[in-house]
Structure 1
Amino acid sequence: MIYQSEQLTIKRLDGDIAELNFDLQGESVNKFDHATVTSLTAGLDALEAESGIKGLLVTSGKPVFIVGADITEFTSLFGSSKEEIKPFTGANNKNFNRIASLPYPSAVAINGFAMGGGLEVCLACDFRVMSTAAKIGLPETKLGIIPGWGGTVRLPRIIGVDEAVMWMATGAEKRPADAMKAGAVDAVASPEQLRGVTLTTLQTAIDGKLDYCERRVRKHGPLPLNDTEALMTFFTVKSMVAQQAGKNYPAPVKVVEVIEQAHKMGLEDALDVEAEAFAELATGPVAAALVGVFLNDQLLGKKAREWEKKADKPIERAAVLGAGIMGGGIAYQSAYKGTPIKMKDIAQEGLDLGLKEANKLLAKRVDRGRMTAAQMGDILNSIDPTLTYGGFDNVDIVVEAVVENPKVKHAVLAETEKQIDKDTVLASNTSTISITYLAQALERPENFCGMHFFNPVHAMPLVEVIRGEKTSDSAIARTVAYANKMGKKAVVVNDCPGFLVNRVLFPYFGGFNMLLRDGADFQAVDKVMERWGWPMGPAYLMDVVGIDTGVHAANVMAEGFPDRMQPDFKSATEIMFELERFGQKNGKGFYEYVEDKRGKPIKTVNEDVYGMIADVVGEKTDFDKDDIIMRMMLPMAIEMARCVEEGIVGTPAEADLALLYGVGFPPFRGGIFRWMDTIGLAAIKEASDKFAHLGKAYELTERMNEMLANSETYY
């Protein structure tokens, strides 16, 4: 043994080959945490002191290769200076440079995920052999940063600028065929042949039949572009990346700028350019926000898996009550992810609509080459449309998705309970109605909970699993397990009007209606909020949600929280409802919609709308954009703070992800609590005081005032 630690070993093999094996003890995956970086430095010291070595084989002792840096350690860098951050990249850059400069060839066997730093160490090796089961990529831009261990330097020198930029700007995972085609790897082998093929490749280089020295010259030197080629290449790719990334995500464009700035440089100088840019991004708010989202997602996933472990019975067969668009979407998602489902409705037209929705979604996958027609047929066959309760005594969970009317839901739930096994979970897809209230119709309320999907079901990741007063842990556990199986992000919340997402969304809409009352132009408000980062402004969003749905939900919220959600004026949204302008569902709302050739609704403006709402809006006023933002965001932020304080949701992390996955909160802001931390509670308080005349929705909670006094933050 040449070197051994808890992170890696280096041993001598037959033929005077050294094997560097990453195998982080106590972990299921390898990652470049501080201890691994330190061990790699010590291991290379020992390797360089070993005489007679002819080649280096790099392997992993885990089912995956290396997943990248330890992101949990990275968070400590936020708030640091650029000078403090540079050592984070410096130590491992030296390690990789040492591997790249060994006096003999190196080859790496990529047996699973090699992401970020995991791929960068592979790029430092002379030859790369990839398992057919592996994936590689540089996903750092998804975290608001760029590769910091030589990725922006080595990858373009291996596969070319255009391809390298696309890899890094998108952060996409690459399969073996794509990696081989691009020239990022030299060979692809089955998992059982991977080690042998890699050793053969290495031995061929040792024998002088593969020129590794020429490869090193290419990786260590400038990019082979003359001035004209460079000008055209970087202008084109920078424009394309900037357009796709948008102004709120600086990292993808920074990738291009770094490659361009360093394209005439050798390795060491180019790495300095990369390190400078990495440190610049790492000190910015976008990196803090996106890394926060990543870590919050890990927390949410961990909690969901913990619930799933508590499930005392697997969900193997499901049913949905109410077909239509929502029921069809639920049926599609369940069947597509492998759980057969009955889809019941009281009318054949409903079943036809539900099947049409599932068929449309599956046909799209076939058209895009993501599944075969035979697979589509199998999935459709696992959706059983029915007008009766036949077979309901043999399902494990029933999701009720009928009309959002308490009386109708009470009747349907009570009827269904009589048709199912006493151990079956019954869940309601209600978006606002109290689970505790709905449970009053049931004999077994312990088996009942909420399972609130967001529309469109196939596209929206979030599912709220809502606990009523009498809901058992078993019902929650099984429902979360079903959500996991459906590929959804489950957040467990306690019961209240609107639960979590709708409870905080409607104060946001309330802020919008007050802005219109006070003379704001709904198009101007939409533009400001879209520039702030929302995928669509509040008027457009209300059209997409459905104005009839929105008015109903707003009434539920007003009844539940009259002190701050009961308006004392008639709103423009109510006028739209009275005029039966329900939004996209009937082609007219604040905007009007005409379908394009693909059936996608295209938003258009009808100036007559201003006349329709003239009686309930004030004299036209041009509001400062910062005032629009605060009048929109404060009610949502304060209501979310109440939800955490009341225990409706467990943590700010879960709350932030619920808004991100449920209604498209801007990821680059990290979530509503991350946003409050970023601008500071002092700024929130200042805005609260400025808009105090607008009512209690703008009034900070006692706990928020305490946090401000004690200089506390949510993260």
Structure 2
Amino acid sequence: MIYEGKAITVNMIEGGIAELKFDLQGDSVNKFNRVTLEDLQAAVAAVQGNSDVKGVLVTSGKDVFIVGADITEFGDAFKKSEEEIAAWVAQANVIFNAFEDLPVPTLTAINGIALGGGFEMCLASDLRVMSDKAKVGLPEVKLGLMPGFGGTVRLPRVIGADNAIEWICMGAENRADKALKDGAVDAVVAADKLREAAVAMLQSAIAGELNWQARREEKKAKLKLNAMESMMVFETAKGFVAGQTKGQYPAPIEAIKTMQKAAGQGRDKALEAEAKGFAKLAKTTESQALIGLFMNDQLLKKKAKVYGKTAKPTKKAAVLGAGIMGGGIAYQSALKGTPIMMKDIAEAGIELGLSEANKLLAKRVEKKRMKPLEMGDVLNRIRPTLSYAEFNDVDTVVEAVVENPKVKKMVLAELEDKVREETIITSNTSTISIDLLAADLKRPENFLGMHFFNPVHMMPLVEIIRGKKTSEEAVATVVAYATAMGKTPIVVNDCPGFLVNRVLFPYFAGFAGLLRDGADFQAVDKVMEKFGFPMGPAYLLDVVGIDTGVHANEVMAEGFPDRMKADFKSAMEVMYENKRYGQKNGVGFYKYETDKKGKPKKVVDQAAYDLIAPVVAERKEYDAEEIIARCMIPMCIEIARCLEEGIVDTPNEADMGLIFGIGFPPFRGGACRYMDTVGMANFVALCDKFASLGNLYKPTDRMREMAANGESYFG
């Protein structure tokens, strides 16, 4: 034994090879935390002092190689100044450089996922052999950061600047075939041949058959680009990436600038530039928001695991009501391996549901994400039926009939008599009270809401709505089923609109008030899209459906009349009265034409302006700040109310609900993170500025208390 630590061991194996093995104690994965970095420093020093070592083989004792840096340790480090963060990164790079500078050839055997710092460790070695099951990449941009352990320096010199820009700015996990094609690894072999192949290649390097010294020097030297080539590569990339990110995500641009700055420098100077770029990004609100989202996601996964311990398995599911929504639910369940009955009262509904599932599967086959045989297997897991004959062994049912309480109550009462007593029944309702629907059920403890978002196959969120009588076992079972479907479940308590719609409709109310006072809906859309939403409020209402919006708005007005019952006729109501329902019938705030790909394309329609003219003031220009404030304040106050009333447990879950449910800008982190960024004292002052607009703009007493005490949601 050359070295033994808590994360790394070094042992001599055959032919003078020292095996440096990552195997972090007490964790299921390897990651670069403080312990691992300290161990790496000590392990490298031990190898340096051992004259028997002829080569170093880097391996992993776990199914993954290294998943990256331990993000839970970032918090304290990122509170420091830019200079201190850059110094912290530089200290880590001293360790990687010492490994790279070992006087013997080094080779990394990549057995599983190697991401971020894990892949940067691979790049620090002279040679790399990869399992055909492994994936590698530098996903730091997804956290609003860029590589900090040498990724922007070594990768361009290994695979070329063009490829490196793509890898770093996309932040993708790259499969073995792409890694080999781009030159990021030297060989790809079957998983069971990895160690044998790695040892053989390292022995060739030791024997002088592979010029590992030349490879190493190339990594440490300047980039092989002349001034014109450098300008073409980096300036073109900056322009393209700026267009893609719309200036909202600074990390990819900063990474390109850093690579450009370091192109004419050797390793050590280049690493200094990287450390400064990393530190600069670490202090941005975007990185704080995106790291926060990552942590929120980890919390949701942990909660799902806890629920999973008490959940009853869903071995067979059912959906009532086929059509597009039912077909989407059936597709998602079957795709992820849970067989599902799809029941409707009419053959036409069944055909529509099967057609939807078939269309979605055909797209996967077309994109080579699935083989035709696999498509057949998935379709075989969907069993269409017009009766309840085979419902005696169903574990979980999703009712997805029309959004009408009378119809739903009738269907649920009938269903309850057709299934086993222990079967869990859920309603895919977007607004109707779960307690109302449960009122006449014999087993309300087995009933709850399971709100899918449309389109089901694309939207990651499922709201799990707990009624007053819903059992914890029922909640756990449905959380586990949603997770098995590949969705992100968030558990909320029953109230009008639940979480997402309850928070969304005050935003629409702010928009309605702007239109009433003379704002142009196109101008509002542009401002809110620039703010970061995928679509502005008028466009979103068209996509959701004006009729659906009017119905949901009525539910919200009845539930919260003090602030959501309008004292004026809105432009949305005018659209509804004139049967302009949005994309579904081709006209709403905008008119919709079909583009070359067969998708709806919005175009301006003067008729919409003419129709709403009687209910809006004379056209007036508003500055962007006022438009944002008038739309965002009601949404943010409502999320605060949901937290205070216990509708949702944590700010983490509240923010994730908005990110996944309505496309809240990820780089802003969610409504709670947004208020933290603005500062609660500043936010409350902004609310007071618009107090004349009514109760929608009145902050809660708790918000005022937070403002006075300097409190925030995330500390």
Q: TM-score range by the shorter chain?
A: over 0.9
CA distance in 1, matches of 2:177, 2:239: 28
Please report how far the alpha carbon of residue 309 of structure 1 lies from its aligned counterpart in structure 2 after TM superposition: 1.6
Partner of 1:55: 55
Say which SS state the counterpart of residue 441 (structure 1) adopts.
coil
Matches within 5 A, 1:462-541: 462-541=461-540
CA distance in 1, matches of 2:419, 2:49: 72
Letter in 1 for 2:640: A
Cα distance per residue 1:654-679 (max 9 Å; x no partner):
00000000010000001111110011
Say which SS state the counterpart of residue 650 (structure 1) adopts.
coil
Say which SS state the counterpart of residue 449 (structure 1) adopts.
strand
Instruction: Flag structure 1 segments of 5+ consecutive residues without an equivalent.
Output: none
Cα distance per residue 1:143-164 (max 9 Å; x no partner):
1110001000100101111111
Say which SS state the counterpart of residue 192 (structure 1) adopts.
helix
Letter in 1 for 2:435: T
Matches within 5 A, 1:21-170: 21-170=21-170
Partner of 2:624: 625
* CA gap 1:78/1:94 in 2 versus in 1, 3 angstroms: closer
Partner of 1:457: 456
CA distance in 1, matches of 2:204, 2:111: 21
* CA gap 1:343/1:414 in 2 versus in 1, 3 angstroms: same
TM-score (norm 2): 0.99
TM-score (norm 1): 0.99
Please report how far the alpha carbon of residue 538 of structure 1 lies from its aligned counterpart in structure 2 after TM superposition: 0.3
Partner of 1:194: 194
CA distance in 1, matches of 2:595, 2:525: 22
Say which SS state the counterpart of residue 56 (structure 2) adopts.
strand
Letter in 1 for 2:520: D
Matches within 5 A, 1:527-676: 527-676=526-675
- Residue 411 of structure 1 contacts residue 441 of structure 1 at CA under 8 Å; is this kept in 2? no
Say which SS state the counterpart of residue 688 (structure 1) adopts.
helix
- Residue 87 of structure 2 contacts residue 275 of structure 2 at CA under 8 Å; is this kept in 1? no
CA distance in 2, matches of 1:648, 1:233: 51
**Could you say what the CA RMSD is over the residues aligned between the two structures, in angstroms?**
1.0
CA distance in 1, matches of 2:488, 2:533: 20
CA distance in 2, matches of 1:702, 1:235: 51
Please report how far the alpha carbon of residue 137 of structure 1 lies from its aligned counterpart in structure 2 after TM superposition: 0.4
Say which SS state the counterpart of residue 482 (structure 1) adopts.
helix
Letter in 2 for 1:459: M
Letter in 2 for 1:126: D
CA distance in 2, matches of 1:245, 1:518: 32
Please report how far the alpha carbon of residue 141 of structure 1 lies from its aligned counterpart in structure 2 after TM superposition: 0.6
Cα distance per residue 1:495-533 (max 9 Å; x no partner):
111110000000000101011111111001000100000
Partner of 1:20: 20
CA distance in 1, matches of 2:46, 2:527: 59
CA distance in 2, matches of 1:244, 1:4: 47
Say which SS state the counterpart of residue 15 (structure 1) adopts.
helix
CA distance in 1, matches of 2:245, 2:353: 36
Say which SS state the counterpart of residue 18 (structure 2) adopts.
strand
> Does 2:189 align with 1:208?
no
Letter in 2 for 1:231: M
Say which SS state the counterpart of residue 439 (structure 2) adopts.
helix
Letter in 2 for 1:426: I
Letter in 1 for 2:352: L
- Residue 75 of structure 1 contacts residue 288 of structure 1 at CA under 8 Å; is this kept in 2? no
CA distance in 1, matches of 2:372, 2:13: 50
Cα distance per residue 1:18-54 (max 9 Å; x no partner):
1111111000011111121112112222221222311
Please report how far the alpha carbon of residue 623 of structure 1 lies from its aligned counterpart in structure 2 after TM superposition: 1.1
CA distance in 2, matches of 1:423, 1:62: 40
Please report how far the alpha carbon of residue 117 of structure 1 lies from its aligned counterpart in structure 2 after TM superposition: 0.4
Please report how far the alpha carbon of residue 558 of structure 1 lies from its aligned counterpart in structure 2 after TM superposition: 0.7
Please report how far the alpha carbon of residue 650 of structure 1 lies from its aligned counterpart in structure 2 after TM superposition: 0.7
Please report how far the alpha carbon of residue 598 of structure 1 lies from its aligned counterpart in structure 2 after TM superposition: 2.7
- Residue 681 of structure 2 contacts residue 708 of structure 2 at CA under 8 Å; is this kept in 1? no
Partner of 2:248: 248
Say which SS state the counterpart of residue 225 (structure 1) adopts.
coil
Letter in 1 for 2:294: F
CA distance in 1, matches of 2:429, 2:585: 22
Say which SS state the counterpart of residue 713 (structure 2) adopts.
coil
Say which SS state the counterpart of residue 452 (structure 1) adopts.
strand
- Residue 75 of structure 1 contacts residue 291 of structure 1 at CA under 8 Å; is this kept in 2? no
Partner of 1:183: 183
Counting aligned pairs with the same residue, the percent is 60
Partner of 2:221: 221
Say which SS state the counterpart of residue 392 (structure 2) adopts.
helix
Say which SS state the counterpart of residue 269 (structure 2) adopts.
helix
Partner of 2:327: 328
Letter in 1 for 2:28: S
Please report how far the alpha carbon of residue 687 of structure 1 lies from its aligned counterpart in structure 2 after TM superposition: 1.2
Say which SS state the counterpart of residue 128 (structure 2) adopts.
strand
Letter in 2 for 1:260: Q
Please report how far the alpha carbon of residue 16 of structure 1 lies from its aligned counterpart in structure 2 after TM superposition: 2.1
Larger mean Cα displacement after TM superposition, 593-602 or 646-655: 593-602
- Residue 396 of structure 1 contacts residue 424 of structure 1 at CA under 8 Å; is this kept in 2? yes
CA distance in 1, matches of 2:243, 2:47: 47
- Residue 59 of structure 2 contacts residue 108 of structure 2 at CA under 8 Å; is this kept in 1? yes
Larger mean Cα displacement after TM superposition, 384-393 or 461-470: 384-393
CA distance in 2, matches of 1:597, 1:104: 59
- Residue 31 of structure 2 contacts residue 69 of structure 2 at CA under 8 Å; is this kept in 1? yes
CA distance in 1, matches of 2:145, 2:341: 46
CA distance in 2, matches of 1:240, 1:410: 53
- Residue 592 of structure 2 contacts residue 601 of structure 2 at CA under 8 Å; is this kept in 1? yes
Letter in 2 for 1:675: Y
> Does 2:715 align with 1:702?
no
Partner of 1:264: 264
- Residue 320 of structure 1 contacts residue 331 of structure 1 at CA under 8 Å; is this kept in 2? yes
Partner of 1:419: 418
Please report how far the alpha carbon of residue 238 of structure 1 lies from its aligned counterpart in structure 2 after TM superposition: 2.0
Letter in 1 for 2:267: L
CA distance in 1, matches of 2:88, 2:461: 35
Q: How many residues align?
A: 714
Partner of 1:404: 403
CA distance in 2, matches of 1:599, 1:427: 35
- Residue 413 of structure 1 contacts residue 441 of structure 1 at CA under 8 Å; is this kept in 2? no
Cα distance per residue 1:606-630 (max 9 Å; x no partner):
0121110011111111112111101
Larger mean Cα displacement after TM superposition, 224-233 or 462-471: 224-233
Instruction: Flag structure 2 segments of 5+ consecutive residues without an equivalent.
Output: none
Please report how far the alpha carbon of residue 711 of structure 1 lies from its aligned counterpart in structure 2 after TM superposition: 0.7
Letter in 2 for 1:105: P
Say which SS state the counterpart of residue 18 (structure 1) adopts.
strand
CA distance in 2, matches of 1:578, 1:441: 34
Please report how far the alpha carbon of residue 4 of structure 1 lies from its aligned counterpart in structure 2 after TM superposition: 1.2
CA distance in 2, matches of 1:231, 1:481: 52
Letter in 2 for 1:389: Y
Cα distance per residue 1:34-82 (max 9 Å; x no partner):
1211121122222212223111111111111111100011122334311
CA distance in 2, matches of 1:79, 1:613: 50
Larger mean Cα displacement after TM superposition, 9-18 or 146-155: 9-18
- Residue 2 of structure 2 contacts residue 10 of structure 2 at CA under 8 Å; is this kept in 1? yes
Please report how far the alpha carbon of residue 599 of structure 1 lies from its aligned counterpart in structure 2 after TM superposition: 2.4
Say which SS state the counterpart of residue 136 (structure 1) adopts.
strand
- Structure 1 runs, 4 residues or longer, greater than 4 Å off: none
CA distance in 2, matches of 1:94, 1:643: 48
Please report how far the alpha carbon of residue 310 of structure 1 lies from its aligned counterpart in structure 2 after TM superposition: 1.1
CA distance in 1, matches of 2:247, 2:679: 23
